Every structure is written in C-alpha cells, then in structure tokens.
Amino acid sequence: MEKSFLAIEKSRKQHAARYDFPWRKIDDKKVEAEGFIPRTFGFELDQTKILTLLTGHTLYNDSTVVLRELTQNAIDAVRLQWQKGNVSECGKINILWNSSREELVITDNGTGMTQEVIENHLLKVGSSRYQDPQFIKENPSFSPISRFGIGVLTAFMVADSVEIITVSEEEDEARQVSLRTVHGKYLIRLLSHSSEVVSDLKPHGTTIRLRLRPSAKKVDVLATLRRWILFPECNVHVEIDGQPAVRIGYKNPEEALNLYLKNNGKRLVGSREYRVVQKNICGLDLAYAISRDEFFKDWSLIGVGETRTSQDFEEIPVGTCIEGIAVDFNTPGFEGRSILAIANARGKTAPRTNVARSALEDTNERTATISQIYELYAAQVADEVKRLAAIEEYSLSWAVGQAAYISAAFASPRTRVSDRATYAAAIGKLPLFLVESDGRRISASLEELETRRDLWLIEAPLVRSVENLIREAPTNVSARSVI
C-alpha cells in the first residue's frame, strides 16, 4: 500500500493526473490472521544475561585477552591522536603490573574520551567509536584495530571493578568513571585539569585501572603482551613489580625475524648464512627468512619444521597480524607452520577478524591478501632462479633444476594451504620448466606454457645425454645446437 501511494503521488506530480489514493497505511490493529495467534512476536534481549555472557568465558574462553583488548584500545587512541604527527616517537603507552596487589594499570597519551564518546560508545555495548559514520567521514584514512565495541567489557572477565580517568583536548574538564560490576549504574565525576590525578595525563590521554579478582586466571603479563602486540607503531612499555620497563613489539616484520634469528638462529639454520627479506604490497608487509647453501650457492626459504621442542615452536615469531596485532599463529597463507615468515596487513584492504580475533573472516579481502602472500613467495623463487643464472653464472638448466629445492618449504605437497585456488595460481607462476624456441633456451612457468599455441615434449636417450652435458656447461646453449 505504501508503494502504491508513492507511485500515485509520483504520477500526479509528473503528469498532473487527478488520481485520489488516500490510503497510505493499513490499520492492522483489528486485523486477525485466520489460524494464527493474534499477537506478533520478535526477539527480545535480556540485558543482564547478555552482559554476563559477554564478560564470561563463553565468548573468548581465554581471560588473558583482556590485556590484548585494553592495549589495542590504547593503541587506537594513540594512533588517532598522532596520525598527523610522528606516532613512533610521540605515541606512548605504559602498562604497570603489580603482582602482589594483582593490579593492572594502562596509561596512554591518546585522544582521551569526551562526554559524548563515553556515553555513546564506552558505555554502549556493541557501539564502536571508530565505526561511527561521522567519525569515518572525518577520518577517512584511519584504520582502527577495534571494531566491535566490546573491548572494555573484557575487563570484567578478570575484574569486578574498573576505574577510568580520561582527558580530552576538546573539553575543559577531565572525567573519572568508576565501573562497579558490569550490571551497575555509574556516575561520571568531573575533574579539574589541575587535579593531581590528572597531572600525568595532560593535555590528553586515558588511564584504566583494574584489580583482578582472586578467582581470575593468573596471567603472565609480559608473555601475553609479547604474544599479541607485535607492531604497535608507538612506544609500548611494560613495568612488572617496579622492575625496569621492557619495550613491547617491533618496528616491522623484518625486525621481528632478524632479532629472533640473531638470538636463536642456530636452531633453524645452523652455520649457514641467512638473511631476512621484507616485501610490501597494497598495505601488506610480508617478511620471510632465507638461507644460503654453501655448496650450491642458492638461497632457499627457511622452514620451521626442524624445531625440536614445543617451547622452540611457540617462541618462533610466525603468524599473520592485522594492524600490528597477532590474529593467526600459522605461517601466512598456510594451516600449520612451514615457512619462517610473518605478515602484517594494514589499511582499508586488510582482512577483518571475527569478534574473538582468533581468525580472519572469509571475505574478498582475506582471499586477496592470501593471494598476495602466495605471489610474494613465488616471486622469491623466480628471482632466485634468475640470480643463479645471472650472478652465479650457472647454466639455465642448472638454475631451473634448483627451483624445486629452493621452493621446497613453499611448494611441498605436505603443506596445508589456506586457499587452494589462489595457491594453485601462485604455483603456476614458478619457473619450473625449460623451453627451447628459435634456438634460444628460456625458463617458463606453467602459466606461460598454457599460453603457447604449440608445445612439443621430446623424451629420448640422446636428449637426456645432451641435457646432462648442457646442465654442467658454463654458458647457455640449446639442445638443438648440440645435437
């Protein structure tokens, strides 16, 4: 009926037609559907039970994520505040842990929160400041870590009360919010900027303080933060029981792998020479380690299957991060650990995570990111084949023959891939074949072979003998010319 009314109105305005259609809505108060219960039904939320569910173990099943959630909230605030400045130098987050009191304090010099942000986002479950249309309009290039608007609720997984002090440059007074249980009603206390409790935060920032309840799972604060917070882009320091502060995170994936290999390199590479390669494409940073074979002089992707203990396995910095926060601890692009590599996706093209940040959502962004990762692995193999021929002066036959060994950690049939279609496309780019055309010998991939109109395969003892001879030759000659 609504559509009919609008159609008639549009026709009347365009054609000056005299049609009367006075009915716009149906009064269904006295309308009964025969054979149905006359009342209508819909879902209703029990706020008390929903809040209990969100702050219990059913959502995350890991109380240590409170450290990750509160820290990444602080990182977002710092990045936003210093996005037009030098966040790596000016952005600061300090985390204090007192084990005797079981008290955690997280302080940042981010934007702080205004009264509007507190009311409409902090205290409104499921409402994220960074997903607000007005915020996105004002900050189109900002890519937050937080997305779901339930970060502060995780504090109640381990604590019964949370105290927040926040200062924003947009307001003349600071705010103090004391949250006593997740089901309570709260008063917001106004504080002067000259107040002693605000002095460390001026001119902007937030402090969140919570004391763990006795029944909460014991948390190794330093180990937990090192596991999750890898590339924060700002200065994150942790102080445990008054000991000297320890910095958390790395500048980029390349630095993470270099530091690991420097301290623990013999576990994986022994006495071989190694180096770390980082490549960047469309907001994706991928770093992987390669080692050199002294005899064959080739650089191969380093695998992690040689680790002997579970402790070694856990300490290796392998995984995929979104905006610098670890999400997956497998080799990027694979299920399980095969290559010593770590990836960090940033910006609007980065994949989205599920609400528990334990996996990537199956979206086009995830597929595109995994495809880029495979292509970077394949490009490393292709570049090494070219280097062997150009720099080491091996014959092309020898260089192409080494491709299978160079790519073993990437192209092994035993590896379990995250996306078979994009993986197959990347494998199709590996230069695994030798082709002779017009008296010239070149390397080719399966993808390139498929574009050829004609292709002859010759299998004969004479050809095999000639191929063995050419393989050892210092220069590139064709089998046809030798025969």
Q: CA 127, 132, 134: angle at the middle one, nearest 5?
A: 155
Q: How confident is the model at residue 343 (pLDDT cuts 50, 70, 90)?
A: very high
- Confidence check: pLDDT of 284 > 70: yes
**pLDDT, position 1:** 62
- Confidence check: pLDDT of 168 > 90: yes
- Confidence check: pLDDT of 333 > 60: yes
Q: Residue 251: what residue type? A: K
**What CA–CA distance (Å, rounded) separates 291 from 302?**
6
**What CA–CA distance (Å, rounded) separates 86 from 138?**
20
**pLDDT, position 313:** 52
Give the domains, in start order, of the chain with CATH numbers. 60-248 (3.30.565.10), 253-472 (no CATH)
User: How much helix, strand and coil, in percent to the nearest 5, is found in the chain?
Assistant: 35, 20, 45
- Confidence check: pLDDT of 21 > 70: no
**What CA–CA distance (Å, rounded) separates 50 from 42?**
17
Mean pLDDT, rounded, for 101-109: 94
Mean pLDDT, rounded, for 141-154: 76
**pLDDT, position 185:** 77
- Residue 183: half-sphere exposure toward Cβ, Cα within 13 Å: 8
